[in-house]
Structure 1
Amino acid sequence: MKKNFVFSNEQYNPYLYLTSGGYEATTPSHQYGPLGRSGYMLHYISNGKGTFISDNITYHMKKGDFMYIEPKKTVTMIADKNDPWSFYWIRFTGDLIKQYMSRINISYQDPVFSINDTPIVPQKIVEIVNYSQDPHRSDFIYNAKLLEILDSLHNILPNVSSNQSSSSEVIYTKALYYIRNNYESTISINDVVDYLTVDRTYLYKLFKQNMNIGPKEYLTKYRLKKASELLKVSNESITFIAQSCGFPSYQRFARVFHKYIGYSPSEYQKKFL
């Protein structure tokens, strides 16, 4: 069995910096988190199974899958009790990384993917971990391999999505992704439908099948969830919080909030501040 291994790169670069990486073969039911991490991270599962929780969504992971973690975002990782996972991982940061990651079709809200037919990404991750043991290792090589990984992901992930565009699961997942990344603006379900280029009735059926509520109600509840989180910790005005969560006016926000939460926004805020 391969031994667990962690390396750190001390050749700091403020623009593009592969900070660390390693290999871990976990024990049954081993749990990490819920905790946040510093830097961006990619985990490649080389064996076994486990559970990954990101943005309060649970993903059941297996060999060949990838997990993506954004800086300071809370995640939980739990190894399977019968077939615990092993994985290679890398952590990276820098001023250029955020720009690059915004061009790749992965995020905190959509953090898992599998590239079964394209081995270059896992190969490069394994290469980085193995290269870290070279006594003549160079920051230039680290960054070159990291850029190869990011470029491959940029080229591969859109193709994965387009090849599966007829899949109801992919359409449903893309709808969730769009809502969670655009709820702050005054989007409507018409915007979601236009983005996906699907029939509104079809999208409604997908949400009913998966959540037993329609997409409009899901958008409303997601905005209320984010608003209630802000009301607990923020001293900003309720009008500001409402607009930050996509509600066009205080009046509409207060009406909807009371309907679903059972309190007015000000009553709810006073309970926590």
Structure 2
Amino acid sequence: MIGIDTPVTLRQLVQYNPERPYREANDLYVSYWGKEDCNPGHAVGPGIREFYKVHFIHKGKGIVRIGKETFSLRAGQAFMIYPQVITYYEADAEEPWSYSWIAFQGSQIAHALSRTSVTPEHPVFPMDMRIMPRIYEQLSEAVAFIPSANLRLSAILMQFLAELTDVAPAASLETIHPQKHDVYVHKCIEFFKTHYSEKISVEQVAASLQLDRKYLSALFKKALGLPPQQYLLQYRMERAEELLIKGIYSIGEVARSVGYQDALLFSKMFKKVKGSAPKHFLLNSPGD
């Protein structure tokens, strides 16, 4: 497809809209992708997007402006456009860039990017040249497999996010907080997020870290302002609310999915945290 909205020497764009059930059931999905050989001085913006969009620069150079910050880029680099962030970018007048891009959405994108050093304020990062030149072709080839296109596209997106985490990792907890107790708190949170659907206790977490339960609870409360039991309860209810809003699971199914075998106890705790009974969220779900 040749674009008609911008003056470019070559622009190829593939628009892809996954079916609604797939979008609603998945936390990561691709919206569209493309590649472009830009004319000298070709500019986009300033404007905002409703999705995440990353540009891989194959050759040439240009600039990206976010707020008052201007970044100069060249081949081998990439930049991320964040949703609702005003962004402007422009090809160099003498060596205009050629780039490919991929736009994507999903509730887990922000979490994935939190594992990297890329932020709305610092959107530029190096990109492994082993994946960059082929990403447009990989995506285009994936849609040829009609039954599995959605899964193939998501796999490519996940591969990119994994590469990004490797080439632009976030500073480790040890770097940001050299105190060992901060690492314990982080590991406790990760344990809760991994095992919240199971019958777990603070004693189990403390034992896995070879710590006294009271000591771990004190560290946790000092770091987050609430005890670990309360954090786990709130996290479980957040996940429960997400499931209830879908409108396709019973209260009992949701209860068991977040670690409660007793649906009545779950309902009581849910109302305590959320202020309304689970049934209220079911009645007001988009599916009804």
Taking structure 1 as the reference length, what is the TM-score of the superposition? 0.54
Contact 1:50–1:79, Cα closer than 8 Å, also in 2: yes
Structure 2 residues without counterparts, runs of 5 or longer: 1-8, 179-288
**How many pairs align?**
163
Equivalents in 2 of 1:103, 1:44: separation in Å? 20
Taking structure 2 as the reference length, what is the TM-score of the superposition? 0.51
Tell me which of 30, 38, 41 is aligned to 2:53. Answer: 41
Equivalents in 2 of 1:120, 1:83: separation in Å? 23
Aligned to 2:81: 69
Tell me which of 130, 136, 152 is aligned to 1:141. Answer: 152
Q: 4+ runs of 1 displaced by more than 6 Å?
A: none
Equivalents in 1 of 2:133, 2:33: separation in Å? 14
Displacement of 1:55 after TM fit?
Answer: 3.2
The residue correspondences of 1:122-141 to structure 2 (distance < 5 A) are: 122-123=132-133, 125-131=135-141, 134=144, 136=146, 138-141=149-152
Amino acid at match of 1:82: E
2:23 corresponds to 1:11: no
Larger Rg: 2
Contact 1:50–1:78, Cα closer than 8 Å, also in 2: yes
Equivalents in 2 of 1:132, 1:9: separation in Å? 11
C-alpha distance 103-158 of structure 1, shift in aligned 2 (>3 A): closer
2:105 corresponds to 1:93: yes
Contact 1:88–1:129, Cα closer than 8 Å, also in 2: no
Question: Percent of counterpart pairs with the same letter?
Answer: 26
C-alpha distance 155-114 of structure 1, shift in aligned 2 (>3 A): closer
Measured on the aligned residues, the alpha-carbon RMSD in Å equals 2.7
- For the residue of structure 2 that corresponds to 1:110, the secondary structure is coil
Q: Deviations over 1:34-76 (max 9, x none)?
A: 1111211110011111111123210111111101110010011
Equivalents in 2 of 1:87, 1:58: separation in Å? 18
- For the residue of structure 2 that corresponds to 1:42, the secondary structure is strand
Q: Deviations over 1:127-157 (max 9, x none)?
A: 3443266364711100001001111111221
Tell me which of 11, 27, 32 is aligned to 2:44. Answer: 32
C-alpha distance 90-59 of structure 1, shift in aligned 2 (>3 A): same
C-alpha distance 97-79 of structure 1, shift in aligned 2 (>3 A): same
2:126 corresponds to 1:119: no
Amino acid at match of 1:11: P
